[in-house]
Structures are given as C-alpha cells and as structure tokens.
Amino acid sequence: MFPGAATVAARSASKLVIGPSSGPAAVGMLEAGRQRAVIGASPTGCRVSDTLPVADRTEPGAAGAHHGVAGFASGEEKITMDARSVNIDLLGGFECSYGETAVTLPLGARRLLALLALCGSGTHRGGAAERLWPDSPANRAAGNLRSALWRGRRVAQTTLIECVGPRLRMSPSVAIDLHEVQHRAQRAMRDPAQVSTRECEHLVAELSRPLLPEWSEDWLVLEQLHWDQVRLHALEGLAEALLVRREYMAAMRTALAAIAVEPVREKAHRTVVQVHLAEGNAGSALVHYQQYRALLRRELGVKPSGQLTRLVGALAPERI
C-alpha cells in the first residue's frame, strides 16, 4: 500500500503492469510513455500499476478511511526514476509535473501545495488547516491536513513540502511558475523599454493567464486580486513601451491582453486609441472610444477621463 502516492498522468488509454513475467514489449510500452505510473511517497522511487488513486472526496484524516490507492502485487518490479525537477503551475490551472511528466495528485494535496506555493515563508499547520477547511471541525480539519501532507509531501525522491516544527513550507527546489513570471514582470516594469519583442510576446502570453481560475477558495481571493494588479501594471507598461518603439501590432496585442483582465480600466484603452491614431486609423480610434464609453456608462454610470476624450475630440466633436 502506498497511501502517499501521486499518479503520473498518461497520454494513452493503455494500462500496463510491469511484473516479473513482463517481456520486452511491455518495457517498450513503458519507455514510450504509454504507462500510468504511481510515484510513491517512499524515497525508493515509483511502481507501475493499472490501479489509479481516486480523489479524496471526504479527505479523511488519521481517523482512518482508505487512501484510495490499491496495493501492488508482490511480484511487481520497481521502476526507479532519476532525480528530476518538480514544477508546480498555478497560472491557468493547477498542474504538478516531474520532469516532463504530469503528476496527478488528490484534491487535498493540490490545495495544500497551492497554499504553500503562495505563502513564501510557509504557514503554521493549524493556520493551514483552518484556511483550507474552514467549515470543518478542528479535529477533522487537522486530519484532512495530515492526509493531504502524506499524499503531497513527496514526488518520487523529491521533497515538495518541508516540515519545520509546527510550520510547513514549500521546498526551495520546487519551481513555481507564478514566482518566475512575477520576477520577469517586475523586471519588465522597472525598464520596459529594454524588453525585447520576443521576450515581450512570451511575457504577454504568461501574464494573460489567471491564477487558479477554476478555484473558489476564500483564502485565494486576495492572491488572485494581487496577481491581477501585477499583470495589469506589467501589461500596461509594456504596451506603452511598445507604442513608443512604434511596434504597433505588439502594442495593440499587449493592450488588449490588459483589457481582457479588467475591461473597465482606462489605461489600456487609451493605448489602443493611440495605436489606431498612430497608424492613421481615425475611424477605428473613434469606434473603440465609443465602445469603451458605452461600457462605462452601462456598467458604472461614469464617463471616460478627459485625457482619453481629448485624444479623439477633434475627430468628430458631435459624436463625443
């Protein structure tokens, strides 16, 4: 039994068990990546099985319900995996990967890893249990936390969660996409004029992804708002820098990405109008202004700022 197991996602519907009687064909299927591997919490590596753990719907604690992972036949061989990096992606949705292989984790383990990924200095066990299971009694929340910790603490030989006394924290060896993108965005905001066009394209794509968009956790709301502000300021600054460099297509794409994050925010709309005017598309600039004005009136009952209005005021005064 491996109650701390995490499942490596397979690209194929094939299910394969490697045992003593397995021949070269079975090993070939494994090497081709058409297996489902269960990476154990034990440092011995992983085993291959056709039995996958189910999501921990009730997330039982030490009180004892099953862990959702069937036992392995006594004759199965171990498949030892080389030490590889573990990556946790929070942008666009949660994903854990071990090297190039996606790892499927139970819900409780995913929530705990996401919380620790967002708490740079870690958090107290009691605080983590209370935040993740606020509607559960204290003893049940503590049991859920123990279950999540057991299931998500390790992937193969790599430690994801470090326990330091009563505190839990993410291991520094785990790469988290949010932290990497934030670092690049902050560097870009300090001097957007120095960001190359290619780097800008990559950064815009990453900044366009929301933080865990399908999660509705109370503890996550402020983190999502903070991420939205970070990416809005970065996208708006990049759009203005690209406009100054007369890279109009890139400036337009970047400004529209910012608008998609927060449609009522004016700064990116102003850049869109300026791009249209710089390209000689006065009609497009006027249409965009009118659409934005209608949006503000419908949603908030306010008007665009005088700064934006003056940009298009001379084009058709009777329509402003």
What does the pLDDT look like over 201-245, one tens digit per residue? 999 999 999 999 999 999 999 999 999 999 999 999 999 999 999
Give the Cα separation of 130 and 314 in Å (integer).
58
pLDDT for residue 66: 33
Give the Cα separation of 168 and 124 in Å (integer).
6
Q: Are strands 86-89 and 175-176 parallel, antiparallel or unpaired?
A: parallel
Strand partners, 46: 39, 79
**Given its phi and psi angles, is residue 171 left (phi above 0), alpha (psi -120 to 50 degrees) or beta?**
beta
pLDDT tens for each residue of the chain, 320 residues long: 434 444 334 333 333 333 333 344 433 433 344 333 333 333 333 332 333 333 333 343 333 333 333 332 333 333 333 446 899 999 999 999 998 899 999 999 999 999 999 998 899 999 999 999 999 999 999 999 999 999 999 988 889 999 999 999 999 999 999 999 999 999 988 888 888 889 999 999 999 999 999 999 999 999 999 999 999 999 999 999 999 999 999 999 999 999 999 999 999 999 999 999 999 999 999 999 999 999 999 999 999 999 999 999 888 766 66
Beta strand spans in the chain (E)? 6-8, 37-39, 46-48, 78-79, 86-89, 95-98, 101-104, 123-124, 154-155, 158-159, 161-164, 167-170, 175-176
Give the Cα separation of 303 and 7 in Å (integer).
53
pLDDT for residue 320: 61
Domains of the chain: 6-170 (1.10.10.10), 178-319 (1.25.40.10)
Strand partners, 120: none
CB-based contacts of 182: which residues, under 8 Å, 6+ apart? 230
Give the Cα separation of 140 and 147 in Å (integer).
10
Token pair, residue 31, equals 């090497």
Residue in the structure block whose two tokens are 């946790």: 88
Secondary structure class of 38 (helix, strand, coil): strand
Token pair, residue 152, equals 């998500």
CA distances from 150 to 42, 226, 273 (A): 10, 30, 54
Give the Cα separation of 310 and 177 in Å (integer).
41
